[in-house]
Amino acid sequence: MATVLVVEDDEFVRSAIIRDLAGRSHAVRSAGRALDALREIAQSAPDVVILDLGLPDLDGAEALKMLRAISNVPVIVATARDDEAEIVRLLRSGADDYLVKPFSGDHLNARLEALLRRARSGTVAPATVISVGGLVIDVDGRAAQLDGVALDLTRREFDLLAYLCARSGRVIPRKELLAEVWRQSYGDDQTIDVHLSWLRRKLGESASRPRYLHTVRGVGVRLSPPGDPTP
């Protein structure tokens, strides 16, 4: 059972989601406005937030940015805006997952359970500190440095980098990344590619001129220190 905050201004849709989640033994709270939701989260953070973008007081993407300023609670965005630029914008603003309306209760619950498994079980190796070349990852402290300079990483970027660092030199299949970092048994490669692109920029590299992050076409991703002869 999880505590879920449903942020949705449409009373019919909100009631349907609440009924379905409550029927699956989740404790459900709700809000119809972004500012009400932010107050709820600040006072008592739920386990997961389901955030509609079409809110009457604030654009949902703006509300997401404000939410991220006060909490790291997992967020599933519910949106009718099914286009690549919008999905990238939402992920960049701090969404952990998204669903395009309309969606079924089973689909929502599957995504919710995947986020909960990830949040509760962790996604990185048990080592406290991992060093790969100039990268130093403090797993317990959730901090990362490159050549002695702190990296400003989102939660998902940190989890992805730590997972790859803990398996340095090994090519990690994309399916494994989806299963272990995103805790999803299905999905496309777009989310992985977006986060890898962000990580590369923060590591001072690019896909065409990699230093640490190497894409192995048709297989997956390998993290290795600069100069590593591993093919």
Q: Is 62 among the domain residues?
A: yes
Report CA-CA distances (Å) from 116 to 12, 132, 181, 190, 230: 26, 29, 12, 22, 36
Q: Is 82 among the domain residues?
A: yes
Q: Say what the pLDDT of residue 124 is.
A: 43
Q: Say what the pLDDT of residue 2 is.
A: 84
Q: Are residues 31 and 61 in the same domain?
A: yes
Under the banding of pLDDT at 50, 70 and 90, the label for residue 188 is low
Rounded mean pLDDT of 54-76?
84
Under the banding of pLDDT at 50, 70 and 90, the label for residue 193 is confident
For the chain, the farthest-separated pair of C-alpha atoms sits apart, in whole angstroms, at 59
Q: Say what the pLDDT of residue 31 is.
A: 92
Q: Are residues 160 and 206 in the same domain?
A: yes
Q: Are residues 117 and 133 in the same domain?
A: no
d(CA 98, CA 197): 19
Q: What is the 3-state secondary structure (H, E, C) of the chain?
A: CCEEEEECCCHHHHHHHHHHHHHCCCEEEEECCHHHHHHHHHHCCCCEEEEECECCCCEHHHHHHHHHHHCCCCEEEEECCCCHHHHHHHHHHCCCEEEECCCCHHHHHHHHHHHHHHHHHCCCCCCCEEEECCEEEECCCCEEEECCEECCCCHHHHHHHHHHHCCCCCEEEHHHHHHHCCCCCCCCCHHHHHHHHHHHHHCCCCCCCCCCEEEECCCEEEECCCCCCCC
Report CA-CA distances (Å) from 14 to 5, 8, 24, 32, 98: 11, 6, 16, 8, 17
Domain harbouring 108, CATH code: 3.40.50.2300
Q: What share of the chain in percent tops pLDDT 90?
A: 32
Q: Is 85 among the domain residues?
A: yes
Task: Write out the residue range of the structural domain in which residue 108 sits.
Answer: 3-121
Rounded mean pLDDT of 176-198?
80
CB 169 within 8 A of CB 222: yes
Domain harbouring 167, CATH code: 1.10.10.10
pLDDT digits (tens, 9 = 90+) for 76-88: 988 777 777 777 7
Q: Are residues 145 and 93 in the same domain?
A: no
Altogether, the residues listed in the chain come to a count of 231
Q: Is 230 among the domain residues?
A: no
Average pLDDT of the residues of the chain: 85
Residue 152 backbone phi and psi in degrees, to 5 = -95, 95
Q: Say what the pLDDT of residue 231 is.
A: 54
Q: Are residues 12 and 92 in the same domain?
A: yes
Phi-psi region of 126 (alpha: psi -120 to 50; beta: other; left: phi over 0): alpha
Q: Are residues 11 and 109 in the same domain?
A: yes
Domain count, the chain: 2
pLDDT digits (tens, 9 = 90+) for 118-152: 666 554 444 578 889 999 998 878 899 999 999 99
Q: Is 228 among the domain residues?
A: no
Q: Is 229 among the domain residues?
A: no
Q: At what angle do helices 155-165 and 190-202 cross, to 10 degrees?
A: 80
Q: Is 231 among the domain residues?
A: no
Under the banding of pLDDT at 50, 70 and 90, the label for residue 230 is low
Under the banding of pLDDT at 50, 70 and 90, the label for residue 90 is confident
